[in-house]
Amino acid sequence: MVKNHRLQSLGIELVKLSLGEDSLLDYERVLGTITVLKELYEKKELKAVLCSYLTALEKFITQTSMKIEHCGNLSTSSAEILRSHFEKTLGRKLSVSVELTNDLIAGIRISIADLVIENSIAGTLNSYKKSMGAK
């Protein structure tokens, strides 16, 4: 149990070392970290350390990725305003991906980890459908 906790803590610390000046993952730092780990650990230990690092990286990416789905026009400045708002609200830097989707009919959906905010005609219609007991 202690070993797993130490590995988990190591994974978190390795993610911190992998962040750039913008507090987001830096690809070159991730590669550098992996290179150093390969030099420091033997094959058997390396696998456990890399798995811990990967788990921590996945968690970090999930927590710092903001997906904006929209139908219609969304300006770059609007996406930037949304990013800035959620960074202030959540207290962390976010990387943003923007995707045009017709599934919303009209509107927007924002996803950050398990937080999903939707304001669309499709979402409104689905809410009415559920409230009326339709399947």
Q: Where are the domains of the chain?
A: 2-63, 65-131
Judge residue 124's burial from the number of C-beta atoms within 10 Å of its C-beta, 0-12 exposed, 13-18 middle, 19 or more buried. middle
Instruction: Give, for 104, the enclosing helix (H) or strand (E).
Output: none
Taking phi over 0 as left and psi of -120 to 50 as alpha, with beta for the rest, 24 belongs to beta
Per-residue pLDDT reduced to its tens digit, 3-39? 788 999 999 999 999 999 999 999 999 999 999 999 9
Q: Strand order in 115-120's β-sheet?
A: 95-100, 65-71, 107-112, 115-120
The pLDDT of residue 98: 95
- Looking at residue 130, its pLDDT comes to 83
Q: Is 65-131 a CATH 3.40.30 domain?
A: yes
* Summary mean pLDDT of the chain: 90
pLDDT (mean) for 93-113 = 90
> pTM, whole model, 2 decimals?
0.75
